[in-house]
Chain A
Amino acid sequence: MVKANKVVVFMKGVPEEPRCGFSNAVIKILEFHGLKPDVYSAHNVLDNEELRQDIKTFSDWPTIPQVYFNGEFIGGCDVLIKMHQNGELIEELKKIGIKSALLAAQEEKKE
């Protein structure tokens, strides 16, 4: 399930209507980088209590949201925000073959 897409998000609510501030922040960050809901997989844990518990056990991470790149657990909201701020997210996306929209915008400016 975590490998079903390059980017997989476990969240509360759906990308169009997050039900938690932390989930909302993660979706907004992905959006900044040009990732719209149609290019990643989002699972609403509020619809599935079993999934909610299983994913916490799987990653050994007690909170939602959780973000996976190529099946690897990247982090929750705090980690994503930090990676967004220090530029790491652009690099991590590059590793999985996704060019961040922010990087594209930077390059355009230079030209």
Chain B
Amino acid sequence: MSSSAAIDEGYQGPLASKIRAKLSAELAPSHLLVINESAGHGAGPTGESHFKVVVVSDRFASVARLRRHRMVNDSLAEELNTQSADHKQKIHALSIVAKTPEEWAASDAVPATPPCGGGGGR
């Protein structure tokens, strides 16, 4: 766990921008982190494959956890599912933290993502 204040979002390329734009538009977050964790996955310093998003939005109020994750997944459906020829516009792994502003005020801890087991980029 680390406090959100200390989080480095990593390299922010075109895919990170797109993720940020879509989540902003669809979920109107009061706080949004798009953390690019691709560097640890053999993608190089400008890789965009592994992401963790922290979305704080009052749209999540009285919405169950699975449904919140679905809302985030739905917003990014194109980026999650479209297989571009060069694989560059595709999210390979997405970790989601979805909280209401009240929950975020109570705890802004962001859990660590499990280390990659080395799927050979698949």
Q: Which residues of A contact B (CB under 8 A)?
A: 12-13, 18-25, 46, 56, 60-63, 73-79, 81-82
Q: Which residues of B contact A (CB under 8 A)?
A: 65-66, 69-70, 73, 77, 80-81, 93-97, 111, 113-120, 122
How long is the Cα–Cα vector from A47 to B93 in the complex, in angstroms? 19
- Do A18 and B117 touch across chains, with their CB atoms under 8 A apart? yes
How long is the Cα–Cα vector from A74 to B70 in the complex, in angstroms? 12
How many whole Å from A26's CB to the nearest CB in chain B? 9
How long is the Cα–Cα vector from A62 to B73 in the complex, in angstroms? 7
How long is the Cα–Cα vector from A19 to B122 in the complex, in angstroms? 9
16 contacts between A and B (CB under 8 A): A12-B119, A12-B122, A13-B119, A19-B118, A21-B115, A21-B116, A23-B117, A25-B114, A46-B122, A62-B81, A62-B94, A75-B66, A77-B114, A78-B95, A79-B66, A82-B65
- Do B73 and A61 touch across chains, with their CB atoms under 8 A apart? yes
